[in-house]
Structure 1
Amino acid sequence: MAENQYQLLKQKRFFPFFITQALGAFNDNVYKNSLVTLFTYTAVSSAQNEGFLVNLAAIIFILPFFLFSATSGQFAEKYSKAKSIRNIKLLEIGIMLLACVGFYLQSVNFLLFVLFLMGLQSTLFGPIKYSIMPQYLKEKELVGANGLVEMSTFLAILLGLILGIALTNLEPYGRIAICSVVVLISLVGYWSSRQIPVLPAVEPTLKINWNPITETAKTFKYVKSNRTVMLSVLGISWFWFFGATILAQLPTFSKSTLGGDEYVYMLLMAAFSVGIGLGSLLCEKMSGRKVEIGLVPFGAIGMTLFSIDIYFTNHTTDALPILSATEFLQHWNNWHVLIDATLIGVFGGFFIVPLYALIQQRCPKNHVSRVIAGNNILNALFMVLSGITALILLSLNFSIPEIILITGILNAVVSIYIFTVVPEFLMRFLVWILINLLYRIRLTGLNKIPDEGAAVIVCNHVSFMDALIIAGCCRRPVRFVMDHRIFKTPILSFIFKTAKAIPIAPAKENPELMNKAFDQVAEYLEEGELVCIFPEGKITSTGEINTFKAGIEKIIARTPVPVIPMALSGLWGSFFSRKDGPAMGTIPKRFWSKIAVTIGQVVPSSEVSAAHLQQQVSQLRGERP
């Protein structure tokens, strides 16, 4: 297994695919940006027509995703993905030859038809692009791999923009140069696709349903059956509504608001693309190589703040395109716009990468392609709606800056709604923020926690933050058993309730609550969940481990499952511990403290005893309380 995402670039099971998909995205963007440049700076003179053609092109490219994704998802399951990619790249070569005909004829309508065919080719590739990774990679590599793919996609947007503009301006040979380059890129892409290792199809007996309507309905029925996947699909689709709306406005925004030539548009796209790439690459490090949905609200907040800020930085509507890139960069206000665009991209990466990885993680391998196809259908619908919304707003005389402002406000409204309906996202965000703000965690033995199946984690109890730290470190959801008074702690109670923690009380205090807690633990374990208990029954007031109580033996006797010992160290003396009196009773004296989470060897259910587990946890903790 690769130690980090960059190691994947040295491995044949990922690198040829990575190059192939990057070249495909690059070719799409060379062609699309050549058209956009022609529409914006060469083919037309009316600002209103420019906006219309640019948004129309966006709709035409995305329309095939809406029409043909259900069928392409089935192809991706039924046939070998590597062989399918090669056939798709051959199709790309043919489409690029047609593009040459369109440029020769100088026909806008024919070039838009070729753009539709490019959308069709991308539709066929889309389900394979995201479903091939779970087939070739391990689960722990998915976040990093998705980060690399998203980075390369937006780097392709940037390089395609630069090359598309540069080739268009090579008059009188611009169209010849465009044709030569797009055909060459498609040929190299086909060559790289030949290097992808061939694996068997995941569902070779699948019978193709050629009716896109019924197959689409069937796909969404399956997606809806998995709530987590459905929410991820909705989140990704909203991201593409937001992104498509913003990106479609940038050419005219660069010209009529910023007063720049096509190279200013290039700078703005560069800032956005570099931001997306940086945010995507940072996801693996920020999530600890696990699928961390807490990054999604973080991303949504940044996307909203910085898209709104762009409006207030500059909302001119009638500037003349007279500034070169060098002149544009001489004004701080323009740097402010570029910083906003970059940060929109960074936070967009935080938003999108965990959602794609979550779909790949939670779907069976023989259904990922069809789920991604369903995702692409919904993405396409949202992107078409994005183009239609922009066209309607333009027809109502809203300016380009106002459309960007409205999009930012809509993102805030949609995000608040999603995180209200699905509090798990907000809960994971709060956990992620708290533990990353307060602690630097040294994690040892995470691989000891099984990726699936029931187990009980036992851990020493040092502070009110223990459960949050453990939840933030584990790749799987953890159901905590905790003292009912800790469960009711202000602010933290929202997190505990959302995480489906189990409040418990001593038998002398509330026997009914105690029995209910044991019943809930048994229920979770029977469902294959991961449960964590603190066998001491209370937070230490001395820094030493209190005697483990026999509750763990009762749990295992009722539901025999493996037990995983875990130790926390470095938390004693923190704001949330009981050193020198009640916890949280003074002003915090330290932030970003070094702490350790150490996980030991799994103890079989037949060897479980409270005394033995206490000894294991004590050894793992060592001398540092």
Structure 2
Amino acid sequence: MTTSTRLLTRKRFMPLMVTQFFNAFNDNLYKTALVLFVVYSVYSDEKQEAFFSGVASLLFITPFVLFSALAGQLADTRDKAAIIRIVKLCEIGWASLGAAGLYMAWQGIAVHTVAIPMLLAVVFLAAVQSAFLGPIKYAILPQHLKKDEVLPGTGLVEAGTYIAILTGTILAGFIDIEYAIILVVITSIVGYLVCRWVPDAPPQGNHELHFPLLEPYAEKTRNPVLRWIGYAPVALADQVVMSWRLVKKTRDIREIWFAIIAISFFWTIGAVLFIQFPPLAKNQLLATPEVASLFLVIFSIGIAIGSMVINTLLKGEVSARYAPTCVVLMGIFLMGFYFVCRAWVPNEAGELLPIEQWILEPLAIPLSLILLGISTAGGMFVVPLYAFLTTRCAPDAASRTIAANNIVNSLAMVTGSIVALGMTALGIPVAEQLMFAALMTAIAAWLGKKLHNAEIEAAPAKAAL
């Protein structure tokens, strides 16, 4: 029995992985069902569709910038399993609100004035929940797993996450919206029940929650009215200060810092691609929502394959030696994807083709295989970098390290989303925007090389310990 298969039978690992599976599944079921429904059923203009997709992605990313510092503090100062249970209970609330918004949009009730704003607000709430869960899912692994189990455990969580993304994305594209409405709520309830089996994970250290701006403000502002009026902006500023301090601390360890920056560029590329897929499928490839969903599915399968392949190549070792090669390969596949999209000839009838007809188009199979190559190379690049974050820091700082990673990742993805929205506003076709993602892989390769050099430099010091 391998380490990976043995972990799947252990209570110290399996409930956490299943909890994360349902969380990723529900996030993607809701977000994909929302975007596909609005793109295909509400709007009929490529610019509007790409803009809506970009706004939804931007709203999903922003909470990671705002709340990751607080999430990291909570995870390092409180029981991680207890936080998981609270966060999963909150998921039932946003899922119910999202189901109500989807129902209104489906029935044509105040679509533009109430339903769509409500749906986008729920995207934000779902991201807040993920922001608080994010630092825990990796930081809890060294606490429950043995040293030689951390990389396989990280790979399993990453693979499970992308299988969940895959499953949620498939269902969002292939089931009717009324079934998606019901399933979002049911999944949130099941996820909460499963998370109650996650073993306790008490804090490892004597850290206390600290709010550098809010605490002095509360002491000085005695008037209750002024206190409540000023609380929100001060609390928001507090999160910015905490985020900056948290990120600044991670720069002390070069391996961790380069890993964070490299991961950030990977997810920026991923964010741009996910924004482009629905309008690209509809307008460039003349395909139905099922094909847009298929693109997201293939991307998720490739990440899962890549995470398993790199674990086999590295044989459990945490190393970035393959990172530059993998991301260069990803860039080559991205350029191939762009040229195939440019060469695509729409069907003569000019109609949106269902998946069973679209797959018979001459370039459909090559396009799908190239997309699989993009995501597989991406998975091989990013998975070892996550393992760096939890194995190169102090045990009692793991959650805050993951939180710092989430903050920098989110800032990078926000930047990528804004650039994608800007290119759309300037009238740059969605297919042309693929080259922006391809060019970013060159920077990611340089960062991967810098990380590997830092790893080599740190090796003698680690061997001496």
TM-score by length of 2: 0.87
Q: Which residue of 2 aligns with 1:198?
A: 200
Aligned residues: 428
How far off its partner does 1:260 sit?
Answer: 1.2
Higher mean displacement: 199-208 or 250-259: 199-208
Superimposed CA distance per residue, residues 532-571 of structure 1 (whole angstroms, 9 cap, x where no aligned partner)? xxxxxxxxxxxxxxxxxxxxxxxxxxxxx9xxxxxxxxxx
1: distance between equivalents of 2:54 and 2:240?
A: 26
Structure 2 residue aligned with 1:115, among 100, 112, 123? 123
2: distance between equivalents of 1:52 and 1:399?
A: 12
The structure that is helix-richer by fraction is: 2
Superimposed CA distance per residue, residues 475-504 of structure 1 (whole angstroms, 9 cap, x where no aligned partner)? x9655xxxxxxxxxxxxxxxxxxxxxxxxx
2: distance between equivalents of 1:410 and 1:12?
A: 40
Q: Which residue of 2 aligns with 1:184?
A: 186
How far off its partner does 1:292 sit?
Answer: 2.0
Q: Which residue of 2 aligns with 1:492?
A: none
Does 2:95 align with 1:96?
yes
Does 2:417 align with 1:415?
no
How far off its partner does 1:317 sit?
Answer: 8.6
SS across alignment from 1:45: coil
Does 2:42 align with 1:82?
no
Higher mean displacement: 131-140 or 206-215: 206-215
Does 2:291 align with 1:283?
no
Q: Flag the 1:22–1:280 CA change in 2: closer, same or farther, 3 A.
A: same
Does 2:409 align with 1:379?
yes
Q: Which residue of 1 aligns with 2:230?
A: none
Superimposed CA distance per residue, residues 110-147 of structure 1 (whole angstroms, 9 cap, x where no aligned partner)? 11011110010111101111111111112222221121
Two-structure CA RMSD over aligned residues (Å):
2.1
2: distance between equivalents of 1:329 and 1:10?
A: 39
Q: Flag the 1:403–1:56 CA change in 2: closer, same or farther, 3 A.
A: same
| Alignment of structure 1 residues 224-373 onto 2, 5 Å | 224-315=251-342, 319=346, 320-373=350-403
Superimposed CA distance per residue, residues 3-33 of structure 1 (whole angstroms, 9 cap, x where no aligned partner)? 4212211111110000000100000011001
Q: Which residue of 1 aligns with 2:453?
A: 424
Superimposed CA distance per residue, residues 235-288 of structure 1 (whole angstroms, 9 cap, x where no aligned partner)? 111111011111211111112222211111122222211111111112221101
In structure 2, what residue type is equivalent to 1:33? T
1: distance between equivalents of 2:146 and 2:310?
A: 17
List runs of 5+ in structure 1 lacking aligned partners: 429-475, 480-526, 531-560, 562-625
Superimposed CA distance per residue, residues 394-444 of structure 1 (whole angstroms, 9 cap, x where no aligned partner)? 1222211111122102212x135435655627x98xxxxxxxxxxxxxxxx
Superimposed CA distance per residue, residues 566-615 of structure 1 (whole angstroms, 9 cap, x where no aligned partner)? xxxxxxxxxxxxxxxxxxxxxxxxxxxxxxxxxxxxxxxxxxxxxxxxxx
Assess if the C-alpha contact under 8 Å between 2:390 and 2:401 holds in 1.
no
Superimposed CA distance per residue, residues 182-212 of structure 1 (whole angstroms, 9 cap, x where no aligned partner)? 1110111011101111132224541332621
Q: Flag the 1:420–1:31 CA change in 2: closer, same or farther, 3 A.
A: closer
Superimposed CA distance per residue, residues 58-86 of structure 1 (whole angstroms, 9 cap, x where no aligned partner)? 00111111111111110111111111101
How far off its partner does 1:363 sit?
Answer: 0.8
In structure 1, what residue type is equivalent to 2:286? G
Q: Which residue of 2 aligns with 1:393?
A: 423
SS across alignment from 2:395: coil
SS across alignment from 1:367: helix
Greater RCO structure (CA 8 Å; 6+ sep):
2
2: distance between equivalents of 1:417 and 1:84?
A: 37
Q: Which residue of 1 aligns with 2:160?
A: 152
SS across alignment from 1:314: helix
| Alignment of structure 1 residues 108-147 onto 2, 5 Å | 108-147=116-155
Higher mean displacement: 203-212 or 191-200: 203-212
Assess if the C-alpha contact under 8 Å between 1:147 and 1:281 holds in 2.
yes
2: distance between equivalents of 1:278 and 1:420?
A: 23
Q: Which residue of 2 aligns with 1:574?
A: none
Higher mean displacement: 302-311 or 154-163: 154-163
List runs of 5+ in structure 2 lacking aligned partners: 106-114, 215-237
How far off its partner does 1:48 sit?
Answer: 1.0
Assess if the C-alpha contact under 8 Å between 2:82 and 2:200 holds in 1.
yes
| Alignment of structure 1 residues 468-483 onto 2, 5 Å | 479=460
Assess if the C-alpha contact under 8 Å between 2:276 and 2:430 holds in 1.
yes
| Alignment of structure 1 residues 425-440 onto 2, 5 Å | none
Assess if the C-alpha contact under 8 Å between 2:273 and 2:434 holds in 1.
yes
Q: Flag the 1:65–1:423 CA change in 2: closer, same or farther, 3 A.
A: closer
Bigger radius of gyration among the two = 1
Aligned residues: percent identity?
Answer: 32
Assess if the C-alpha contact under 8 Å between 1:30 and 1:160 holds in 2.
yes
Q: Which residue of 2 aligns with 1:66?
A: 65
SS across alignment from 2:210: coil
Assess if the C-alpha contact under 8 Å between 1:70 and 1:373 holds in 2.
yes
In structure 1, what residue type is equivalent to 2:194? S
